């Protein structure tokens, strides 16, 4: 028996029509739930009548964050179409590859990306392209909405139907389109929202890109599902975020970011005087959080809810509690309510408590696979379990600790080294603004660690000081044998460090410290 997917925005428009649903921090534009639903109805009517979009067709968006990203998502719910938000940092060639895979019926684009949009669309054979100005309120897009009828009879959609395709970063190869179903979106909104205490009074700041699962699936949808408010930033800016969080009129209660975002906030001159008193939950994921950062934010009265997830997982898989014991700082908590998790060895057998294993997941928030890529889908699953490629351990109390990406582990002299553990120690050095550790080739040991360090402004560090700091804190085989100082670490659109790119840069470089 199929389970129907319901239109959250339409339901809230009926129950609380005047409640703010979205606020654009760039323009100040506000959409109540009634206005949000009405705009989505008009867009659905326009897409259907003028562009021929129907059930299962894809609608791609290439633009900075805007409330209309979410309006497009909602119009797709009403028509049964599939939203495809695209990464605006990609080249036209990369975008063309994704468009060729998704084959959208239409591509909507922001004015600043018109060149790449038209070039990519032409290469992929996408014939219908519409500009929407700089923030979703202009061009052919706005004229289409203005001229469309106000009423739209929504089609029936089901939990198994795709609602979104999110392309992965492609850090390990060509990007794959992760299929997000209506059921995934619902169960993730419940899984995430319950634990971070999202409700009708919540005001969620969305500063992660809406083409990424962190921005869309956690930074926006749970608040909309609950009937709260989403404040949308065009892109992350530490000064803007601190100003918005400090604004009592907005009353922001929830943050979502990767560790680099919180690090940028804490290093900004305005951090010390920012008003963080209204923050209920500050969720963080994407990579392990240094203990020093936990301590710094706790001193300001904000406890991180550290989580682990991935696009294919909904994304939420593990989340720490708001009142997680101090002794468990650094843990990503326990599994979400609706989902299962295993830690397995290379043979696929469950590992013992405290042993490191690869995370396998299954449940209603896990993706059924990759769009138009049956080979990758088949390779990702074993007996219904999705293999994440991430390594973790579970302690005797049931708390999980992400060790690192399974693929980022390197073997030095026969011993496994997980870079995140080394990075956590190095972040204790006051002079380090950013650090990433990768394995590089070594004739004697096979691989050894190389630390790429970005020095904090006003500080000085030498390679010897960095290595000496590890002495006594890490086993000898874990201590980096070389240190390289960089102006910045290579990162993707959501500020995750691109370890593959860094590894390629660093192999054979750096002063070796004996």
Q: Using one digit for the tens of pLDDT, what is the confidence trace for 45-54?
A: 999 999 999 9
Contact 185, 163 (CB under 8 A): yes
pLDDT, one tens digit per residue, over 121-169 is 999 999 999 999 988 999 999 999 999 999 999 999 999 999 999 998 5
- Give phi and psi for 281, each to the nearest 5: -145, 135
Contact 252, 244 (CB under 8 A): yes
Residue 170 has pLDDT above 70, yes or no: no
Q: Looking up tokens 């943050």, which residue turns up?
A: 255
Is pLDDT larger for residue 1 or for residue 144?
A: 144
**Superfamily, domain 8-394:** ANL, N-terminal domain (3.40.50.12780)
Among the ranges given (243-247, 266-270, 357-361, 496-500), the one the predictor scored with the smallest mean pLDDT: 496-500
pLDDT (0 to 100) of residue 394 = 97
* Cα separation of the two ends of the chain: 66
pLDDT, one tens digit per residue, over 53-80 is 999 999 999 999 999 999 999 999 999 9
Q: Are strands 381-382 and 385-394 parallel, antiparallel or unpaired?
A: antiparallel
Q: Does domain 409-506 have CATH number 3.40.640.10?
A: no
Residue 221 has pLDDT above 60, yes or no: yes
Contact 23, 66 (CB under 8 A): no
Contact 237, 264 (CB under 8 A): no
Burial letters 407-446, b for 16+ CB under 10 A, else e? ebbbebeeeebbbbbbbbbbbebebbbbbbbbbbebeebe
Residue 172 has pLDDT above 70, yes or no: no
Contact 2, 158 (CB under 8 A): yes
Domains in the chain: boundaries? 8-394, 409-506
Average pLDDT over residues 433-448: 84
Is pLDDT larger for residue 287 or for residue 466?
A: 466
**In angstroms, rounded to a whole number, what is the distance separating the alpha carbons of residues 83 and 376?**
21
**pTM as predicted:** 0.84
Is pLDDT larger for residue 293 or for residue 28?
A: 28
- CB contact set of 181 (below 8 Å; sequence gap of 6+): 159, 160, 161, 162, 163, 367, 368
Contact 222, 189 (CB under 8 A): yes
pLDDT, one tens digit per residue, over 385-406 is 999 988 899 999 999 998 866 6
Torsion, Cα of 100, 105, 110, 116 (10° steps): 30
pLDDT (0 to 100) of residue 512 = 47
Let me know if the fold of 8-394 is the same as that of 409-506: no
């Amino acid at each position: 028996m199929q389970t129907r997917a319901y239109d959250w925005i339409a339901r809230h428009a009926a129950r609380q029509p005047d409640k703010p649903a979205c606020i654009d921090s760039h323009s100040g534009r506000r959409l109540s739930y009634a206005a949000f639903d009405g705009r989505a109805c008009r867009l659905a009517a326009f897409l259907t009548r003028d562009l021929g979009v129907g059930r299962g067709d894809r609608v791609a968006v290439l633009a900075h964050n805007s409330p209309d990203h979410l309006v497009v998502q909602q119009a797709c719910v009403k028509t049964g179409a599939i939203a495809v938000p695209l990464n605006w940092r990609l080249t036209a060639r990369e975008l063309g590859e994704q468009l060729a895979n998704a084959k959208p019926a239409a591509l909507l684009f922001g004015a600043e990306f018109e060149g790449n949009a038209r070039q990519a669309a032409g290469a992929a054979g996408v014939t219908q392209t519409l500009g929407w100005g700089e923030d979703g309120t202009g061009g052919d897009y706005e004229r289409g909405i203005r001229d469309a009828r106000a009423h739209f009879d929504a089609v029936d959609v089901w939990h198994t139907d795709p609602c979104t395709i999110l392309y992965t970063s492609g850090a390990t190869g060509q990007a794959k389109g992760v299929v997000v179903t209506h059921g995934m979106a619902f169960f993730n909104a419940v899984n995430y929202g319950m634990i971070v205490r999202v409700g009708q009074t919540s005001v969620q700041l969305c500063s992660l890109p809406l083409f990424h699962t962190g921005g869309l699936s956690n930074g926006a949808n749970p608040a909309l599902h609950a009937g709260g408010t989403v404040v949308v930033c065009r892109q992350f800016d530490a000064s803007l975020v601190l100003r918005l969080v400090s604004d009592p009129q907005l009353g922001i209660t929830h943050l979502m970011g990767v560790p680099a975002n919180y690090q940028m906030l804490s290093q900004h001159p305005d951090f010390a005087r920012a008003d963080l008193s209204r923050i209920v939950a500050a969720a963080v994921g994407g990579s392990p959080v240094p203990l020093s950062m936990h301590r710094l934010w706790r001193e300001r009265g904000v406890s991180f809810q550290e989580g682990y997830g991935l696009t294919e997982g909904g994304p939420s898989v593990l989340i720490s509690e708001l009142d997680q014991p101090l002794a468990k700082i650094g843990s990503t908590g326990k599994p979400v309510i609706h989902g299962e998790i295993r830690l397995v060895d290379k043979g696929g057998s469950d590992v013992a408590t405290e042993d490191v294993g690869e995370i396998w997941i299954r449940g209603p928030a896990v993706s059924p696979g990759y769009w138009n890529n049956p080979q990758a889908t088949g390779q990702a699953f074993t007996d219904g379990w999705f293999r994440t490629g991430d390594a973790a351990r579970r302690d005797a109390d049931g708390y999980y600790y992400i060790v690192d990406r399974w693929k980022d582990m390197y073997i030095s002299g026969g011993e496994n080294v997980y870079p995140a553990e080394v990075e956590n120690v190095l972040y204790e050095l006051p002079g380090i603004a950013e650090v990433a550790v990768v394995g590089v080739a070594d004739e004697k040991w096979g691989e050894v660690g190389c630390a790429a360090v970005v020095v904090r402004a006003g500080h000085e560090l030498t390679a010897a000081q960095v290595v000496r700091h590890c002495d006594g804190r890490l086993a000898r085989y874990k201590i980096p044998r070389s240190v390289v100082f960089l102006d910045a670490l290579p990162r993707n659109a959501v500020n995750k460090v691109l370890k593959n790119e860094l590894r390629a840069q660093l192999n054979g470089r750096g002063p070796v410290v004996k």
